[in-house]
Amino acid sequence: MAFRATHLLGIEHLAPPEITALLDLADTYVDLNRRTVKHANALAGMTQINMFFEASTRTQASFELAGKRLGADVMNMAMQASSLKKGETLIDTALTLNAMHPDLLVVRHPHSGAVNLLAQKVNCAVLNAGDGRHEHPTQALLDALTIRRRKGRLHRLTVAICGDIAHSRVARSNILLLGKMEARIRLIGPPTLMPSGVADWGVEVTDNMAEGLKGADVVMMLRLQKERMDGAFIPSEREYFHRFGLDAEKLAHAHPEAIVMHPGPMNRGVEIDGTLADDINRSVIQEQVEMGVAVRMAAMDLLARNLRAARGMAAMGEGA
Amino acid sequence: MITFFQNARLIDPEAGEERIGNLIVDAGLIAATDAANPPKGAEVIDCNGKCLAPGIIDVGVKIGEPGERHRESFRSAGQAAAAGGVTTIIARPDTDPAIDTPEMLEFVTRRAASATPVRIRHMAALTRARAGHEMTEIGFLRDAGAVAFSDVFNVTENTRVLSRCLTYAHSLGALVVGHPQDTGLSRGASVTSGKFASLRGLPAVSPLAERIGLDRDLGLVELTGARYHADQITTARALPPLERAKANGLDVTAGISVHHLTLNELDVGDYRTFFKLTPPLRSEDDRMAMVGAVASGVIDIICSMHTPQDEESKRLPYEAAASGAVGLQTLLPAALRLVHAGAIGLPQLFRALSHNPARRFGLPGGRLTPGAPADLVLFDPDAPFVLDRFTLLSKSKNTPFDGARLQGRVLATFVDGKRITP
Q: Do A198 and B204 touch (CB under 8 A)?
A: no
Indicate if the pLDDT at residue A83 is higher than 60. Answer: no
**Which pLDDT band, with edges at 50, 70 and 90, does B291 fall under?**
very high
pLDDT digits (tens, 9 = 90+) for B360-395: 999 999 999 999 999 999 999 999 999 999 999 999
Neighbours of A228 (CB within 10 A): 16
Q: Do B201 and A89 touch (CB under 8 A)?
A: no
User: Which comes out higher in pLDDT, residue B422 or B106?
Assistant: B106
| ipTM score of complex | 0.88
Which of A18-27, A234-243, A292-301, B75-84 shows the lowest per-residue confidence on average (mean pLDDT)?
A: A234-243
Question: Residue B18 falls within a domain, yes or no?
Answer: no
Q: Do A109 and B201 touch (CB under 8 A)?
A: no
Phi, psi of B213 (to 5 degrees): -65, -40
B38: buried, middle or exposed (CB in 10 Å: 19+, 13-18, 0-12)? Answer: middle
Given this model, what pLDDT does residue A79 score?
A: 78
Show which of residues 232-271 on chain B sit within 8 Å of chain A, judged by CB atoms: 270-271
Catalytic residue among A4, A34, A58, A308: A58
- How far apart are the C-alpha atoms of A190 and A164, rounded to whole Å? 8
Question: Residue B34 falls within a domain, yes or no?
Answer: no
Q: What is the mean pLDDT of residues B58-64?
A: 97
Question: Residue B87 falls within a domain, yes or no?
Answer: yes
Q: Do B312 and A89 touch (CB under 8 A)?
A: yes
- How far apart are the C-alpha atoms of A299 and A66, rounded to whole Å? 10
> DSSP secondary structure string, B108-151?
HHHHHHHH-SSEEEEEE-SBGGG-SSSB--HHHHHHTT--EEE-
Q: Which of B115, B117, B177 is nearest to B146 (CA)?
A: B177
Given this model, what pLDDT does residue A86 score?
A: 66
Does any CB of chain A come closer than 8 Å to the CB of residue B194? yes
- How far apart are the C-alpha atoms of B46 and B23, rounded to whole Å? 11
Indicate if the pLDDT at residue A320 is higher than 80. Answer: no
**Which pLDDT band, with edges at 50, 70 and 90, does A92 fall under?**
confident
Question: At A155, which amino acid appears?
Answer: H
First to last CA, chain B: 20
**Which pLDDT band, with edges at 50, 70 and 90, does B245 fall under?**
very high
Neighbours of A289 (CB within 10 A): 16
Number of domain units in chain B: 1
Chain B: nearest CA to A117, how far in angstroms? 7
Which of A48-57, B173-182, B210-219 shows the lowest per-residue confidence on average (mean pLDDT)?
A: A48-57
- How far apart are the C-alpha atoms of B409 and B51, rounded to whole Å? 10
Q: Do A196 and B201 touch (CB under 8 A)?
A: no
Given this model, what pLDDT does residue B46 score?
A: 97
Which of B34-38, B125-129, B297-301 shows the lowest per-residue confidence on average (mean pLDDT)?
A: B34-38
Q: What is the mean pLDDT of residues B196-212?
A: 96
Picking from A112, A164, A173, A194 by the largest number of B CB atoms within 10 A of its own CB, the best residue to mutate is A112
CATH number, domain containing residue B132: 3.20.20.140
Indicate if the pLDDT at residue A258 is higher than 60. Answer: yes
Q: Do B317 and A196 touch (CB under 8 A)?
A: no
**Which pLDDT band, with edges at 50, 70 and 90, does A93 fall under?**
confident
Q: Do B198 and A112 touch (CB under 8 A)?
A: no
Give the mean pLDDT of chain A. Answer: 93
Buried/exposed A86-113: b ≥16 CB within 10 Å, e otherwise: eeeebbebbeebbeeebbbbbbbbbbbb
Indicate if the pLDDT at residue A318 is higher than 80. Answer: no
B79: Cβ contacts below 8 Å, ≥ 6 apart: B116, B393
Phi, psi of A46 (to 5 degrees): -90, 155
Chain A: nearest CA to B241, how far in angstroms? 24
Which of A190-199, B200-209, B228-237 shows the lowest per-residue confidence on average (mean pLDDT)?
A: A190-199
Question: Residue B37 falls within a domain, yes or no?
Answer: no
Buried/exposed A24-61: b ≥16 CB within 10 Å, e otherwise: ebbbebbebbeeeeeebebbeebbbbbbbbbebeebbe
Range of the domain at B302: 55-367+380-408
User: Which comes out higher in pLDDT, residue A20 or A198?
Assistant: A20
Catalytic residue among A7, A69, A134, A136: A136
Among candidates A116, A172, A197 on the partner chain, residue whose Cβ is nearest the Cβ of B193:
A197
Question: Residue B41 falls within a domain, yes or no?
Answer: no
Give the mean pLDDT of chain B. Answer: 97
What kind and span of H or E run contains B183? helix B183-186
Question: Residue B336 falls within a domain, yes or no?
Answer: yes
Show which of residues 316-345 on chain B sit within 8 Å of chain A, judged by CB atoms: 316-320
Q: Is A250 a catalytic residue?
A: no
Question: Residue B110 falls within a domain, yes or no?
Answer: yes
Picking from A128, A169, A170, A196 by the largest number of B CB atoms within 10 A of its own CB, the best residue to mutate is A196
Question: Residue B97 falls within a domain, yes or no?
Answer: yes
